[in-house]
Structure 1
Amino acid sequence: MTRRSTDGWVPEGTPLDTYREGFVPKQNRPRLAAGADVFTMACERMAYVLDTHDKALVSFSGGKDSTAVLNVALHVLDHEPSLRRHLPLRVVFFDEEAIPQETEDYVRRVAQRDDVALEWYCLPVQHRNACSRTSPYWWPWAPEDEAKWCRPLPPEAITTLPGFPIWPPQERLTIPNINGLIAPPPHTTATLMGIRAQESLIRAHAVRLRPVDNYIVKYSITKGRQAAAYDGGNVWKAYPIYDWRTEDVWAATRLYGWDYNKAYDLMEMAGIGPSGQRCSPAFGEEPLQKIHVYAQCFPDVWARMSERVPGIGAAYRYARTELYGYGGKPPKPDGQTWPAFITHYVRKHGTDVQPKVAARIADVIARHYRKTTHPILPQSPHPDTGLNWSFLLTIAMRGDFKQRRQESNQLMARTAAEHWQRYTTELAQLLTDGTTPAELGHPRPLPTDAHAIVPDQHKDTP
């Protein structure tokens, strides 16, 4: 089956930039013209990274974005003789077990290439299980769960890694924390990743931190006590396709005849749009919304997935409802303060992760009060911080362990003047209703005049 871009079928010989007209990115963020198409720019970045690092590896998932990174890297190595010390190109694949058979087949085809040296890891790495608040983690290929594995262990599987703890389960590392093990000192190593700014504001911010080499990010361990043991300070993350859009990825796939994961064809035939097409496990906080895709498109693996983690049955039925913090949210009972209401949902999590969720909420609140003395309202995001209690309720219900949700994202849809109008209107109504500071968790008296707090530059703005 021939893949197509989001705008239509991609004919041979068409520049990638042709298929941008009319495409609206998720957050409607403008891009500046760079004087070259995205493929050329990606190749230039790739050549720079390969030239300035001792070693390189592709962090490969079998998805469309890591496919683009892999092929850009191989294209550069084929055309730059001075960089061929990186051949065969090291490709690292962490098999997450609950994946379609089409993904396994595609990874195997990649592994058979002469210019690729693929390492196929089947390790019980720590993953988020958002299906259950009391069992917040799961471990693919965990030896204690062998009877529940979603697929047979692939013959290529690497099941041990020096320094990776198998027992006890709570000591097992996440995939990001393994980077220091697969790329130890003294060599500098670039991990080539398919991170694209279009996917989220967090990813967009990651490539806006520096004006030069903004697509190269220092790797750091995420668990402090493991840093000394596993972070050698020699690993960097590189995002050579960070400015690509979804249609760029598929246009390049068609134009250059790249092989790809045929799971995408099944999802497209099922009527699932490009933004909803994912090949990763569906147990995480964000993928959970697409859990029905597995049941629809990959019934064989779904038959095993449906019994793999605690809470999967409830998640399949209710993942897109207020039970999991999507769609509507439960109303706060009258007479209960917002902090108490939030605490009620934090305590629904397992005792081992409650402190993590509570600390995340406390950090967000502290960030708000570092910027303003105004109260946090139930529904209206504060115009300077984006925070409201509804956002905190979402964090309390879901956990947001990877901090993919940021309060500032709530300010994208309206102008500052519109946010001030919305905020002051709700505050005025709360003052009329006699709402107390305690109900809003506010540490000082509420403003007596809601509209007086509006900055001068926004007071007369329609």
Structure 2
Amino acid sequence: MAVKRISSDIDVVTAARQRIKNVFSNGVPVYLSFSGGKDSIVLADLTYKLIQAGEINPSQLTVLFVDEEAIFDSIEATTKAWRKKFLLAGAKFQWWCIEVKHFSCLNELSSDETFVCWDRRKRDVWVRQPPPFAIRNHPQLRPRIDNYQSFLPRVTMDGIMITGVRAAESIQRLQYMAALNMGAKGITGTNTIYPIYDWKTADVWLYLRDQRIEVPEVYLQMYQVGVNRNQLRVSQFFSVDTVPVLVHLGEYDPSLMERVLRREPNAYLAMLYWDSEMFHRTTRKRRELEGEDTKDYRALLKEMLFVRPGDFFNTEHKRKIAKQYRKMFIQMDGMARPRDYKKMYGGLTAGDPKLRTLRAIYQDISCAYADYAKRFRKGGEANG
């Protein structure tokens, strides 16, 4: 899907403040999703300062923090500080420590890819202990079945949720947000508003600097060990898009790494095999070590998806993901390039629980084919 960008005559900070005020002007409950990361801190600060200025009503606001157990100590400390600020300002703050499900990319060799936060069966190896004020259960929660993305909409149905998701984080989010106003399932249907959706990463860091906002220490630690500024993510450790934090965790926080290994013994795989097919990496270092890649990825995919799927996809979740990749292979075969088949293979082998890689491949193939068609109509391919 093509995305049209439109310039505005106001800056992103002014636009975000106006969006937040518009949400509160509806007079319904407002839920702010807080993670302790840089984007949610920006959204929290914008909201908090509007409360201080008397421009929005704090009694409408409930801040929601879903504690994923395996988080940095500095994220916990930052969240506690913001909890205190919002409570003193007259808002509510709900700290959830509940059994929600994640998919762990570290358990590829087992039949269970699930990581359950605050798993009651593994209480003795929890990475942290929940704070005494945490909410531990809810009538609308299906423990060990729900992820937080499916649970939170149930407890926020009476209002509007605002979150710090930004379109610049990935092409998939850009496409999703561009389509939000289309049809009945648009932004009003989901009850979610994204006040800083159009902020770039540089805008986030600039705001934090200009407003002199303290950020969790882990950002500095990650940057010091060489993590790129655009890759500074501090979410739960075990999903395929956040597992990179484990690569250097032992360098700047050995105590936390020790606790993580007790909880998830396979966490060491990230350090040993980061530059490998297991984590869908294609770095220069890996290419130098492995030499020229001569694999026929289209043939490998046909083997995995059509000839021997039972040998490769031995869990219900893997079979669901494989079904979507099988559809893509059929739809795109003939349009896809060798590098696209390689990406498909990488998505299947590394894991793609949220189908982000699949959507990116769809986008890449579609755009490349549209460009080819334009050039062909103009005679470019015929003459070339």
TM, length-normalised to structure 2: 0.83
C-alpha change, 1:316 and 1:334, in structure 2 (3 Å) is: closer
Following superposition, the deviation at residue 275 of structure 1 comes to 1.3
Match of 1:138 among 102, 115, 119: 115
Deviating runs (4+, > 6 A) in structure 1?
A: 412-415, 418-421
Structure 2 SS opposite 1:288: coil
C-alpha deviation, 1:460, in angstroms: 5.2
Contact between 2:106 and 2:238, CA under 8 Å: does it hold in 1? yes
Structure having the higher Rg = 1
Find the aligned partners of 1:265 and 1:157 in 2 and give their Cα distance. 28
Question: Quick one: distance in 1 between partners of 2:210 and 2:297?
Answer: 60
Shift of 1:395: 2.6
How far apart are the structure 1 equivalents of 2:210 and 2:276? Answer: 41
Aligned-residue RMSD, C-alpha: 3.2
Conserved in 2, the CA contact under 8 Å of 1:162 and 1:181? no
1:318/1:52 CA distance change after superposition, 3 Å: same
Question: Structure 1, residues 371-395: CA drift from partner, whole Å, max 9, x if none?
Answer: xxx6255615xxxxxxx32232123
- 1:420: Cα distance to partner? 9.5
Out of 378, 383, 391, the residue aligned to residue 343 of structure 2 is 391
Unmatched tracts of structure 1, length 5 or more: 1-28, 220-234, 369-373, 381-387, 422-453
Change in 2 beyond 3 A, CA 1:202/1:392:
same
Could you tell me whether the CA contact under 8 Å between 2:24 and 2:60 is conserved in 1?
no
Question: How many angstroms apart in 2 are the aligned matches of 1:259 and 1:273?
Answer: 20
**Secondary structure at the residue paired with 2:281?**
coil
Counterpart secondary structure, 1:52: coil
Q: Give the letter for the 2:113 counterpart.
A: P
Q: Which residue of 2 aligns with 1:87?
A: 59
Are the structure 2 counterparts of residues 354 and 128 from structure 1 closer, same or farther at C-alpha, using a change threshold of 3 Å? closer
Shift of 1:200: 0.2
Q: Structure 1 residues 192 and 76 mapped into 2: Cα distance closer, same or farther (>3 Å)?
A: same
Q: Does 2:151 align with 1:178?
A: yes
Q: What CA deviation, in whole Å up to 9, does each residue of 1:278-301 have, x standing for no partner?
A: 211221111123421322232221
Partner Cα separation in structure 2 for residue 319 and residue 334 of structure 1 = 21
Q: Give the distance between the partners of 1:34 and 1:150, measured in 2 at CA.
A: 45
Please state if 1:200 is matched with 2:200: no
Cα drift, residue 272 of structure 1: 2.6
Please show how residues 243-258 of structure 1 align to structure 2 within 5 Å: 243-258=198-213
Contact kept in structure 1, 2:305 and 2:322, CA below 8 Å: no
Write the letter of the residue equivalent to 2:95: W
Counterpart pick for 1:149 among 105, 126, 138: 126
Structure 1 residues 80 and 206: alpha-carbon distance in aligned structure 2, compared to 1, 3 A threshold: farther
Query: Post-superposition shift, 1:118?
Result: 1.4
Could you give the per-residue CA deviations for residues 316-368 of structure 1, whole angstroms, max 9, x where no partner exists?
31133013332269864799664114455774343222321221112323543
Distance 1:416 1:367, change over 3 A: closer
User: Given the alignment, which residue of 77, 92, 97 partners 1:105?
Assistant: 77
Any idea what SS the aligned residue of 1:307 has? helix
Conservation of the 8 A alpha-carbon contact between 2:166 and 2:199 = yes
Q: Is the 8 A contact 1:91 1:118 kept in 2?
A: yes
Task: Give me the whole-angstrom Cα distance separating, in 2, the residues matched to 1:39 and 1:240.
Answer: 9
SS in structure 2 opposite 1:131? Answer: helix
Give the aligned residue type for 1:407.
I
254-263 vs 338-347, greater mean Cα deviation? 338-347
Structure having the higher helix fraction is 2
Query: Which of residues 160, 164, 169 is equivalent to 1:190?
Result: 160
In the alignment, the residues of structure 2 paired with residue 68 and residue 255 of structure 1 have an alpha-carbon distance, to the nearest angstrom, of 11
Partner of 1:227: none
Structure-to-structure mapping, 1:230-245, within 5 angstroms: 236-245=191-200
Shift of 1:249: 1.2
1:342–1:392: 8 Å Cα contact kept in structure 2? no
CA, structure 1 residues 354+251, in 2 after alignment: closer, same or farther (shift >3 Å)?
A: closer
* 1:337–1:411 CA distance, 2 compared to 1 (3 A): closer
1:354 pairs with 2:318: yes
1:26-70 per-position Cα deviation (integer Å, ceiling 9, x unaligned): xxx996431111100111111112223611111100000011111
Q: Give deviations 1:87-134, integer Å, cap 9, x for gaps.
A: 373111011111111011111111111124211111110011011223
- Please tell me whether the aligned partners of residues 197 and 204 of structure 1 are also in contact (alpha carbons under 8 angstroms): yes
Q: Does 1:284 align with 2:239?
A: yes
Say yes or no: does 1:379 pair with 2:338: yes
SS of 1:358 mapped into structure 2: helix
Task: Identify unmatched segments of 5+ residues in structure 2.
Answer: none
Contact 1:93 1:120 in 2 (8 A): yes
Does residue 1:410 correspond to 2:364, yes or no?
yes
Match of 2:44 among 60, 66, 70: 70
Q: Does structure 1 retain, via aligned residues, the 8 Å contact 2:140–2:151?
A: no
Matched residues in 2 for 1:413 and 1:335: separation? 20
Deviation at 1:308? 2.0
Q: Distance in 2 between the 1:258 and 1:335 partners?
A: 49
Deviations 1:177-232 (A, max 9, x none): 11233224xx3x1111111111001111122125799xx7256xxxxxxxxxxxxx
1:389 maps to a residue whose letter is Y
Q: Does residue 280 of structure 2 align to residue 317 of structure 1?
A: no
Q: C-alpha separation between the residues in 1 aligned to 2:298 and 2:41?
A: 54
- 1:455 Cα deviation after fit: 4.5
For residue 312 of structure 2, give the secondary structure of its aligned residue in structure 1. coil
